[in-house]
Structure formats: structure tokens, C-alpha cells
Amino acid sequence: MLKGHLSAEAQRFLCNEEPAPSGRSEATLADLRSATKAYITPAVRQVLATTKVTTRHIIINDVECLEVRPPKTTVSWPILYGFGGGFIQGSAYEDLTIAAPLCAMTGAALIIPSYRLAPEHPWPAAIDDGFSVYQALCERPFACVGESAGGNLVLAAMLRAKRAGFPLPRAVALLSPWCDLDMSSDSQMFNDGRDPSLKIQESKTAARLYAGDHDITNPDISPINGSYDSAFPPCLITTGTRDLLLSLSVRLSRCLRESGVEVDLQVWEGLWHVFEWHHRIPEAQQSMRNIAAFLKGHLTP
């Protein structure tokens, strides 16, 4: 489903706003991590004040997590949330511009694993951490949400859970999921330079630092290659026509549908990779409302 026309706020962002720091390389990674956190911190502070959610650090199965709680918890099911950053940057804190509104809109607690990052901790460290937390949460009804690399983590965790006989979530939402580390899909060519938040060379660098010499077709690395069936939960996927990873969302939605999974693919006109991270844009706010309604519809009795 193609969603709407580009808002004036989104147009101004494309024309005027300073993009988030970029230029991934192993040599500059530490500086990029610091610069990205500094860039998003004012927005995080604003969204925390607006939503009135609370946060605290907790440990689940030896993995440090950020727990986000709404002003009033109205549902008993938690949401396992995977943050983005190509598995080489990002943090639970930096994704609060998405996680905090989602928490407030659903009335559910969010658990965000602070999974280990490459190249200090290459694959499978991130997936191991995410799956450790998954195992603790899946003892009761729950949902999963992941953006970009966090979408990869959520898919890989579900594939592991299916193989091991653990319960699957009741619903999953994926925001521009980085589900294939083979950087040869169509949109990774025609949207390189059009997407203000992600470039093809940055993705290639992240894939190399994360996967190393391992076979990137391994479903634990590129979960689009996994074995899915109708037991997997309903899935909402969001992307934009400028998204460098647009093709991955389209391919994943087709793969899941052909496996018997219910999928709602929402493609937003003129928008870029994980546009929801920029919470002040009307399309981001509407997409978050759509995601919250989707999750509540599948989890609320």
C-alpha cells in the first residue's frame, strides 16, 4: 500500500535539515557513534518529556536491556524491540525517538536489548544477545518490533525460536528491515544518493564488519533466506520510496506471503530509511500510530 503525499515538513527536512552523521569506516567508527548520539540526544529528551515514559536499565539472561514503561501500563504483554545501526553503531537510547512513542501509544512495556556491536563483537554476538532476551520474554504473549538491523535481529531470533521449539510472538512490526546483507537489490542502486539517511557504501562497510568472512546467505545473518510458514505471526512492514532498503521490504513481504504469513506492507511516498526515527515529521507520527494499532489489534483480547 502506497501511503500519501510528502508533507511540507518532510520536504523541508529533505531540503534544509542537516542529516545525521554519516561516513562509516572502521577508522572513524568511534567518532561516528559519538556524533550520532549527540545528534539525536535533543530529540530523545524532547520525546521523553512529551510521552512521559520512564526508563531503567535491567539485566535479562545476562544481557543489559533498557526497559521503557508508559505513564500507565494498560496491557500485560511486553514488546521486544531491536534498535538499528547496521550492527556496528546505535543503542537503545538513540532509538527512543521510536520506542518512547510506541510505548506510550500501546500502553505496553518495551524491552530493548543493548546487544553487542561489531567489529568488537561480530556475528553472532548481537543475535545471541537478542535471542537470550527473547527466550525470557516468550514465556507469555508478547510482540516484536525492529528497525533496520533490529529488524534483522527480530527475524533471526524468530527463526531460532522456531527451530528450537520456543513460542513465536503474536505480532511483529519491521521498520525498513535490513534482512539481506547482499547489497545488490534494485533500490540499493537507484536510491543511493536519494536516501538522506543511508548510503550503499555505509551498508557494505557494516556488512563486512559484522559478518566478516562468514557466508552472508546464512539465515542467521540474512534472515530473508530463512524457512517461514503459516505459524509465523502477522507482520507489518514499513518503508519509503526513497529507502535504500526498499527492495528488501518488498522482497521480504513477498517471501512471507508465499509462506502463508499475513503481511501488511506500507510504502510511504517520498520517505527514506527508517523515517520514523525523525519523530517530528507527520508521516512518522502516523506510521507509529499505525504500528501501535496493529500490535494492539493482534494482542488485545
pLDDT of residue 164 exceeding 90, the answer is yes
pLDDT of residue 152 exceeding 80, the answer is yes
Give the CATH number of the domain where residue 19 resides. Answer: 3.40.50.1820
Number of domains in the chain: 1
pLDDT given for residue 3 in this prediction:
64
Q: What is the mean pLDDT of residues 158-184?
A: 97
Q: What is the mean pLDDT of residues 217-246?
A: 98
Per DSSP, the residues of 169-182 read PSEEEEES------
What b-and-e string marks burial along 69-100, b requiring 16 or more CB atoms within 10 Å of the CB?
bbeeeebebbbbbbbbbbbbbbbbbbbbbbbb
Q: What percentage of residues in the chain have a pLDDT greater than 70?
A: 97
pLDDT of residue 250 exceeding 70, the answer is yes
Cα dihedral 123, 129, 130, 133, rounded to 10, equals 170
Per DSSP, the residues of 80-131 read EEE--STTTS--TGGGHHHHHHHHHHHT--EEEE----TTTS-TTHHHHHHH
Q: What is the mean pLDDT of residues 157-166?
A: 98
Pairwise CA distance, residues 32 & 209, whole Å: 15
| Range(s) of the domain holding residue 64 | 2-299
Q: What is the mean pLDDT of residues 155-168?
A: 98
Q: What is the mean pLDDT of residues 40-65?
A: 98
CA angle 125, 91, 80 (to 5 degrees): 75
**How would residue 238 be classed by pLDDT, with cut points 50, 70 and 90?**
very high
> pTM for the full model?
0.96
Which grid cell sits at 34? 559519538
pLDDT given for residue 18 in this prediction:
63
pLDDT of residue 1 exceeding 60, the answer is no
Pairwise CA distance, residues 14 & 10, whole Å: 6
pLDDT given for residue 292 in this prediction:
98
**How would residue 15 be classed by pLDDT, with cut points 50, 70 and 90?**
confident
Chain mean pLDDT for the chain? 95
pLDDT of residue 22 exceeding 80, the answer is no
pLDDT in tens, 85-143: 999 999 999 999 999 999 999 999 999 999 999 999 999 999 999 999 999 999 999 99
Which grid cell sits at 234? 502477522
- Bond prior to 124 in cis (omega within 30° of 0): yes
pLDDT of residue 60 exceeding 80, the answer is yes
Residue whose C-alpha is closest to residue 234's, from 288, 156, 294, 176: 294
pLDDT given for residue 175 in this prediction:
98
